[in-house]
């Protein structure tokens, strides 16, 4: 009788363990901070760029930086659970052959981004409930 109870308890514990482990893998996401986020879309339009030219990185110090497509940019941010506020401070002023991506990305960073969410390896910036940017985590070749 005791053996049956022990086996029953073990089966329940193993079932709970496997259910939890399976769920964790499905919803595991990358952190906002210290991840290199490559720009993939602006206003639902795919971004055409050379590899990982336009990107953003958020640091523990509440500062961010990245590349607009040619020039580097920087600023400060505040964030909470799903809320974010960017204070775009500036960028370098190098002239580039094609400034379209540069101008669009800069405009988005200066706009009223209110929310964000991360789903696996994708970061989304929202203005209220409308997605304005989509990023993908940089996957190093190592």
Which residue ranges make up each domain of the chain?
1-29, 36-137
Contact present, 79 and 67 (Cβ < 8 Å): no
Q: Sign (positive/negative) of CA torsion 87, 122, 108, 48?
A: positive
Question: How many other β-carbons are positioned within 10 Å of the β-carbon of residue 39?
Answer: 25
Mean confidence (pLDDT) of the chain: 83
Least confident of 10-14, 32-36, 128-132, 137-141: 10-14
Q: What is the per-residue pLDDT for 96?
A: 84
21 pLDDT exceeds 80? no
Section 126-133 average pLDDT = 92
Position with higher pLDDT, 58 vs 24: 58
17 pLDDT exceeds 50? no
Per-residue pLDDT tens over the stretch 37-71:
999 999 999 998 776 689 999 999 999 999 999 99
- Which of helix, strand or coil describes residue 86? strand
Per-residue pLDDT tens over the stretch 64-90:
999 999 999 999 999 998 999 999 999
Specify the long-range contacts of residues 80-87, CB closer than 8 Å, at least 24 apart.
82/115, 82/116, 82/117, 83/114, 83/115, 83/116, 84/113, 84/114, 84/115, 84/116, 84/125, 85/113, 85/114, 86/113
CA distance 63 to 80: 14
CATH number for 36-137 (one of 2.40.128.270, 3.20.20.150, 2.30.30.90, 3.30.1330.30): it is 2.40.128.270
Q: What is the per-residue pLDDT for 53?
A: 86
Q: What is the per-residue pLDDT for 141?
A: 52
């Amino acid at each position: 009788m005791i053996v049956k109870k022990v086996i029953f308890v073990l089966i329940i514990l193993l079932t709970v363990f496997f259910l939890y482990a399976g769920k964790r893998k499905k919803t595991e996401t990358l952190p906002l901070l210290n991840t290199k986020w490559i720009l993939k879309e602006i206003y639902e339009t795919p971004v055409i760029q050379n590899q990982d030219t336009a990107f953003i990185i958020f640091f523990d110090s509440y500062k961010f930086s990245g590349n607009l497509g040619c020039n580097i940019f920087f600023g400060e941010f505040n964030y909470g659970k799903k809320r974010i506020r960017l204070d775009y401070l500036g960028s370098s002023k190098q002239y580039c052959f094609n400034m379209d991506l540069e101008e669009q990305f800069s405009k988005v960073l200066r706009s009223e981004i209110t929310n964000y969410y991360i789903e696996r390896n994708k970061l989304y910036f929202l203005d209220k409930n409308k997605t304005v940017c989509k990023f993908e985590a940089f996957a190093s070749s190592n």
